[in-house]
Each structure stands twice: as C-alpha cells, then as structure tokens.
Amino acid sequence: MPRAHHNNSMNMKTPHKSMTILVINSGSSSIKYRLLELPQGRVLADGLLERIGEPASRIIHRATDDSDSFVDIKQAVAAADHHKAFKAVFEVLGEDCPVDAIGHRVVHGGDRFAGPTLIDNEVITSIRALCQIAPLHNPVNLLGIESCLSHFPGVPQVAVFDTAFHQTMPPHAYRYAIPEAWYSDYGIRRFGFHGTSHHYVARRAAEFIDKPFNTSRLITLHLGNGASATAIANGCSVDTSMGFTPLEGLVMGTRSGDLDPAIPLFIEQAGYLNNTGIDHALNKESGLKGLCGTNDLRAVLELNQAGDERAQLALDLYCYRIKKYIGAYYAALGEVDALVFTGGVGENSAQVRRVACEGLSRFGITIDEAANDKVIEDITEIGQAESQTRILVIKTDEELQIARETMTVLDKDHD
C-alpha cells in the first residue's frame, strides 16, 4: 500500500497577512461553523445548526457587534436536508460575509492524506472514495465542501483530516495481526481519529511545559462522546486507541471500545442479531449507555451519586480502560513529559481524572487533588509538584486548529 507523504505543515510560519477563515464541521445531523480572523484568532461569528432532517431543526448563531461583544440569534429554520441547512447557514452569515478561505473538517483521509490539503477535483474524488470506510462521516463532509464551492466560487478551500495526525504511526502500531491480504486488498489497518484535537492539545502542552514540540513525549486523552488516547513521541503520533474505525479503544458514550472480535461472530451465529444490528448495537447502544442506560457522563455521575450500581460499574469500567491505555502508552514511550486530558469529560470531570490516575504514582503520575477540583483555565496543571510526568487539563479547540492549518496551506501555496 502506498505510504502518504507527511505534510509537516504545522511548523507554522509567520503568516503574510490577516485572513478571514470560515471553518465548517458538517456532521450527520448538525453543522458547526466559525468565522474567525487569523492570525489573531478573533472570532467574528459562530454557530450550530442542529437536528437536520427533523421538523424541530434550529440554528443558534452568534456574531460580534462593533464593540466586539456577542449578539445571539436563536431561530427555527427549515433544514430538511444538508443543502437547505447550508443555505440557512449562509443566510445567517450574510451576503457580504468576508471569506478569504474555508477550512473543512473531513473525518477520513485514509492513508492518502497526511496533512491539510487544498481541495480540487482530484481531492474530492479521493474523499468520495473513502466514503466506503467512513459512510457516516465523509458523505456529509463532502456535502459541506460542495455547498461551499457553489456558494463561494473561487474561494480556496482546505480539507483538514481527523486521521492525518496519526499517519506517522509505525507499521507495528498501525497494522493488525491478520492475514496480509486483508491489508493489501482491503486496506484494513489502524487509522486513528480525533487527530486535530490530539495535535492541538499536544502543541499547547509542549508550549506550556516549555519543551520543543519535536522532542516532546506526551499521552493525550480526548474524552468526549467519542474518546481516544494517543501516544506522541518527538511531536509525532506513534500509537492511538481508535483503529480502522472509531469503534476501537476506550469506552465511549455509546461505543464499546475494545472487545474480543469473536463476540460479534458469536452473536450473529446465535441468531440474536444480524450484521446491521450488531453494527448498531456496538456503535449506538454500547459504552456507558450499554452499561447503565445513558451516554451522558454527567447523568452517569448523578446516577452514581444516587447509589445506582450500574452507573458505578460503568464509571469503574470507563476509568479502568483509560488507566490501561495510560499504562500501555507509558510503556510504548518509555518516558512521558506530560499526560493531557481534554474533551467534554476530560476538561470537566475531576472524578474521571482522579480515578483514571489512581495508583500511578510509581509511573511518576500523581494528581494534586485541590488543583484537580478547581480546573477553570484554558490550561490547568493538576499534577503534584513532585509528579515526574506533568498532568495537564487543556481545553481543545478543533475549529481554531482547522483555521490555522487552512492558513498554513494557503501561505505555502503563495510562496
């Protein structure tokens, strides 16, 4: 299989001039967007159009006024499909919306894309070809690209892939021990996801601990609805917990994470579920939801507080799996400068962070309880002063990262 060239475009150069960049994150039932000015990072507008295809679809939009404060608009919109949804987003942004470039989140770049890429017809064809292995994501990402191409003709557009950061993994991390033909004929390998977030927090962590990114050894934990862990050596992803699809690895809101591959075969052979049913069960009915009925970690914590035993088991399993990955990646890296928590759970749940790190002081990982309970900053250090491995909570910002990567591609293009 051809190896992608690694576009090391995150070694950011000084940009030539200020630019207005529209970031689009087109999902299966929602569109998130942000209009921002770089390099300052000033947000001009942002919003979320949700419940596409439902009668109750609505848009929540914010724009800055002349005095730089945000003005909120919340309104119902008719968004029966993505085309109509994008029309509504463009309308609320306004006809005279100043856009110099557009950055799109694209979930799957396969092993073709190892960095942000200027979109042309050939790139669109490649993203379309990857729909087969990312049927829930790439088609709606493409709809976003096509809508923007027709609404903003001539405006350069860049694809930023969730998989790209992990293209530096060595074969012993990205290959599975399966018949070689599965890899050569069907491309079965680990790709990893959440790369934009892992990359963003990893760079911020290196800056914070005052170490060059390209010599930093980090473990980053993105714990949101989806969740993944990444081992980073010398600024490069060397292993990550999500695999061929986002199903592998940590316990998630509704995904199982790691399991014995014989289990789905058994369930099918037993006649309990067919292929589609198993796919649905493992992606939508498992994880925290499968264990205790809700995928929302806040609700799990509340149930646990109220003495619910299923919620206790769900939390135990969730945190134990994180701890196992910390241990595994510690072994993979040899030494670790910093352990980073991010994502809705990682940024907000002191309990998850505490339990996941319990008993790891021999690894040089010791949480400072008071600091852990009081996380409020964009970056907060929660390790004890003597903790050899620094422990950080960092707010992720995938939109800002996408905008920056978009700008770097254009900057390069103009050289």
When binding is defined by CB under 6 A, the residue of 264, 327, 344, 364 that contacts ligand ADP is 344
Q: Which stretch binds ligand ADP (CB under 6 A): 163-171, 228-236, 263-271, 341-349?
A: 341-349
Nearest approach, Cβ of 193 to ligand ADP (angstroms)? Answer: 11
Q: Which residues, numbered 226-245, are part of the site for ligand ADP (CB under 6 A)? A: 226
Residues 79, 53: Cα–Cα separation, whole Å:
6
350: Cβ–Cβ under 8 A, 6 or more apart, which residues? 372, 373, 375
- The verdict on whether omega for the bond into residue 39 sits within 30 degrees of 0, i.e. cis, is yes
When binding is defined by CB under 6 A, the residue of 253, 257, 287, 383 that contacts ligand ADP is 253
Nearest approach, Cβ of 14 to ligand ADP (angstroms)? Answer: 32
Nearest approach, Cβ of 398 to ligand ADP (angstroms)? Answer: 9
Nearest approach, Cβ of 392 to ligand ADP (angstroms)? Answer: 17
8 Å CB contact between 196 and 105: yes
Catalytic residue chosen out of the listed positions 68, 72, 96, 162: 162
Q: Which residues, numbered 275-334, are part of the site for ligand ADP (CB under 6 A)? A: 296-298
Residues 246, 232: Cα–Cα separation, whole Å:
19
- If the CB atoms of residues 161 and 341 are measured against ligand ADP, the closer one turns out to be 341
Is 258 one of the binding residues for ligand ADP (CB under 6 A)? no
- If the CB atoms of residues 100 and 397 are measured against ligand ADP, the closer one turns out to be 397
Which residue has 């995904």 as its token pair?
255
Q: Which stretch binds ligand ADP (CB under 6 A): 14-22, 239-247, 271-279, 343-351?
A: 343-351
- If the CB atoms of residues 38 and 352 are measured against ligand ADP, the closer one turns out to be 352
Nearest approach, Cβ of 105 to ligand ADP (angstroms)? Answer: 12
Nearest approach, Cβ of 108 to ligand ADP (angstroms)? Answer: 17
For residue 302, count other CB atoms closer than 10 A to its CB.
13
The residue at minimum Cβ distance from ligand ADP is 344
Give me the 174-193 binding string for ligand ADP, x by CB under 6 A, dash otherwise. --------------------
Q: How many residues bind ligand ADP (CB under 6 A)?
A: 12
- Phi/psi region, residue 359 (left: phi>0; alpha: psi -120 to 50; beta: rest), is left
Token duo for residue 180: 């070689």
- If the CB atoms of residues 352 and 409 are measured against ligand ADP, the closer one turns out to be 352
- If the CB atoms of residues 255 and 390 are measured against ligand ADP, the closer one turns out to be 255
- If the CB atoms of residues 9 and 396 are measured against ligand ADP, the closer one turns out to be 396
Is 110 one of the binding residues for ligand ADP (CB under 6 A)? no
- If the CB atoms of residues 107 and 336 are measured against ligand ADP, the closer one turns out to be 107
Residues 314, 295: Cα–Cα separation, whole Å:
10
Is 348 one of the binding residues for ligand ADP (CB under 6 A)? yes
Sign of the dihedral through C-alpha 131, 59, 105, 278? negative
Nearest approach, Cβ of 114 to ligand ADP (angstroms)? Answer: 24
- If the CB atoms of residues 117 and 196 are measured against ligand ADP, the closer one turns out to be 196
Among 239, 35, 1, 46, CA closest to 152: 35
8 Å CB contact between 210 and 218: no
- The residues pairing with 232 across neighbouring beta strands, listed in sequence order, are 218, 237
Is 343 one of the binding residues for ligand ADP (CB under 6 A)? yes
Is 195 one of the binding residues for ligand ADP (CB under 6 A)? no
Residues 181, 187: Cα–Cα separation, whole Å:
9
Residues 267, 10: Cα–Cα separation, whole Å:
45
Nearest approach, Cβ of 295 to ligand ADP (angstroms)? Answer: 7
260 is catalytic: no
Among 210, 65, 206, CA closest to 220: 206
Q: Which stretch binds ligand ADP (CB under 6 A): 32-40, 96-104, 337-345, 365-373?
A: 337-345
Q: Which residues, numbered 199-228, are part of the site for ligand ADP (CB under 6 A)? A: 224-226
**Residues assigned a catalytic role:** 162
Q: Kindly list the residues in this chain that would bind ligand ADP in the complex (CB under 6 A).
A: 224-226, 253, 296-298, 343-345, 348-349
